[in-house]
Structure 1
């Protein structure tokens, strides 16, 4: 009888302890992959357009293959980060005036207002290279978080827009966005007209 009592007591203790563990169990929060960022090194772009700048060595310079693309519409792809900086160059003409092009850039940036928590405008002003413009920092879960334009206001105009090829979720892309934003700043700071 002592064996049966000991066996019964053992089962009772194990059931009681299982109940406590089950009530303390909580699902683990969803995690994200660890990110490895390459060393920041840059090289001049090689192309036949009327502008130049330094691009990251870990990015790929490629033509825009969309149907309506013009010869100096390019993409700066970041394959390790699933991101693309769309670059569109325009000659300023009476049909495509500086005022119209800058208004288009503002309109494209502010189309993200529905998802943005804020849109900050940073003035770009490099007198020595005749490069002037505005960088739009679009905060929140918008499709594009950085857009900009630069121009000499008489002949040349270039617009850039950064997109990630995934559903916008700022918490997950923030480290990558900050990393690429530094590359965009370098692009603008080394930008010049030919």
Structure 2
């Protein structure tokens, strides 16, 4: 019996010759496609370029709005909701423009509860008469970026970037960093018909 105890103790002492380090916690690898863009080929009153890995879907939650769409990137569970308003269809288009701009600002700042910061950037493209504001929302917010674009007289376009996943900035940061330049490209290539 004494021999068995000595043998077990010797096995424990000699079995652990090398230092053991547990594997670090890992995250899923996300493969991103090459960036290339195509013009939106539809009969909308607006036009912009979208990534080739994205697809356009009709916004089924607002089926009575013919120009509301979702730019969907299914591989990354990303949606960019696009809503469009014709300012000429209202009696007082200046009042409507002000209301839509304030509504966009309010919707962006609803994320301030979870956001670490909200950065507002103006966008000006006088050549195509496209002006707007981009809201970059930092932190564990449901929407990391929102924007509106207008020509101040007839067109108003609002966009919101959503990831269909629980907001965890550490694991979603690679997807956000990949998609944000696509949204900026969409904004920079927007023109009115």
Common fold, TM-score beyond 0.5?
yes
Distance (whole Å) between structure 2 residues aligned to residue 8 and residue 172 of structure 1: 49
Q: Secondary structure at the match of 1:70?
A: coil
Match of 1:13 among 6, 10, 24: 10
3-state SS in 2 of match to 1:134: strand
CA distance in 2, matches of 1:60, 1:156: 23
SS in 1 for 2:32: coil
Equivalenced residues, count: 188
Q: Which deviates further from its counterpart, 60-69 or 132-141? A: 60-69
- Residue 184 of structure 1 corresponds to 183
Moved more, 67-76 or 170-179: 67-76
SS in 2 for 1:147: strand
User: What are the ranges of 5 or more consecutive residues in structure 1 without an aligned counterpart?
Assistant: none
Provide the residue aligned with 2:136 in structure 1: 137
Tell me the equivalent position of 2:105: 106
Write the distance in 2 (CA, Å) between the matches of 1:41 and 1:50.
23
* Alignment root-mean-square deviation, CA: 2.3
Matched position secondary structure for 1:34: coil
Misfit runs of 4+, over 3 Å: 4-8, 15-18, 24-30
Aligned-pair distance for 1:28? Answer: 5.1
TM value normalised by structure 2 = 0.89
CA distance in 1, matches of 2:162, 2:135: 13
CA deviation digits over 1:3-52, x for unaligned, max 9? x765442212234578x89xx98875542111111110000111111100
- 1: CA distance, partners of 2:62 / 2:190: 27
The 3-state SS of whatever aligns with 1:118 is: strand
- Residue in 2 that maps onto 1:86: 81
The superposition leaves residues 63-92 of structure 1 with CA deviations (integer Å, 9 ceiling, x where unpaired) of: 100146511000000111001000000011
Residue of structure 2 equivalent to 1:115 = 114
SS at match of 2:61: coil
In structure 2, the partner of 1:61 is 56
The answer to whether the Cα contact below 8 Å between 2:80 and 2:162 also exists between their aligned partners in 1 is yes
C-alpha distance in structure 1 between counterparts of 2:11 and 2:43, whole Å: 77
**In structure 1, how many angstroms separate the alpha carbons of the residues matched to 2:70 and 2:56?**
6
Q: Which runs of 5+ in 2 are unaligned?
A: none
Q: CA separation in 2, counterparts of 1:136 and 1:99?
A: 17
